[in-house]
Homo-oligomer: A and B are copies of this chain.
């Protein structure tokens, strides 16, 4: 695979070698090309899955039978699934396959953590066209494997097939949680605090930078982009992390959120989900929304409003939750948790309170997959 992002490495992350982040668009990183026909379907599955280790006691049987077998006698099980399609959800001209594998897992784990559950297993299905050599699929699986190891997940099954066009990845993630610990979207109560983890808007701005560089590359393939000022936002786009740490933190702090959702489509879209399902209203404070300085500077450079980006950008994979006010002292000092608003009665509606103290109705302009195509 060729990659647009051509630069000395500027991204951190122990799980990946520096050279993995940016490979040259001109230089072929994978001179060895083993065609998928040589292996056949079963050969490919064996080849790709033989390295996956089983870590959880609850995994009775992983890959290799008609179905995986799990055992989870004392806990509830959560199940979530996502489908990622080339040209719709990712562009291989600037997304390295290893990162794509890693991110595909994160997208699903994020949904498990949003239930206040621990992720335990995943299944991976991929469809690839013959334009991908084996080495490319190995890169993808290497990212999946890194994600599984880092997050302590067993890969327990999947399907590998051919596609007539691009790459398709379907992942189902499974987790477990004590019955009394599950957090749904529908438990927010008036006067609860609205809390977000980390910072938001960065993944979207990272994508804007990558898209811009792709256009520049088309016109001038010899151009060497300087991505140094965008390190953080590009990493947020290419290698997001699901917030397993937050689930552990909440447990340690003895805080059970009243409702929780992961931020995949954008803050405003997720706030609307929480409020509608909980039958409540909300006041969101513009000046409280946590933004990384790189988001602010890149928004200025692109001449877009950073609040709009934070509200509608998407792909942050942070957690949005509501907590009871009596839990506020427990989270107060924590840099990972920011109070950005509070829950009201439903009839007060859903509003953004701007820096100028105007109340603007919150509407969902989140990324809508249905509009993104020809």
Chain A residues near B (Cβ < 8 Å):
36-37, 39-42, 44, 60-61, 64-74, 76-83, 85-89, 110-112, 114-115, 117, 121, 123, 125-127, 129-130, 156-159, 161-166, 168, 170, 172-175, 177, 179, 182, 184-186, 260-262, 277, 364, 368-374
Contact = CB atoms under 8 A, between A and B. Distances in A.
A77 B82 contact: no
Nearest to A264: B66
Given A73-B73, A125-B82, A66 B370 contact: no
Contacts of A129: 373
B370 A41 contact: yes
A115 B166 CA distance: 33
Contacts of A166: 164-165
Nearest to A71: B76
A77 B182 CA distance: 19
A81 to B, nearest CB: 5
A157 to B, nearest CB: 6
23 contacts: A42-B364, A61-B182, A65-B184, A65-B185, A65-B186, A66-B185, A66-B261, A66-B262, A68-B78, A68-B80, A69-B115, A79-B157, A80-B123, A81-B172, A83-B127, A83-B159, A83-B161, A85-B127, A89-B161, A123-B172, A125-B170, A127-B168, A165-B165
Contacts of A61: 182, 184
B165 A88 contact: no
Contacts of A161: 83, 85, 88-89, 369-370
Contact of A158 (B40, B81, B277): B81
A170 B61 CA distance: 22
CB-based closest 5 A-B pairs:
A67-B80, A66-B114, A170-B170, A67-B78, A83-B125
B370 A88 contact: no
Contacts of A74: 73
A44 B112 CA distance: 23
A162 B39 contact: no
A374 B163 CA distance: 10
A129 B262 CA distance: 26
Given A65-B186, A67-B114, 6 more contacts: A36-B370, A65-B184, A82-B125, A87-B164, A88-B127, A162-B370
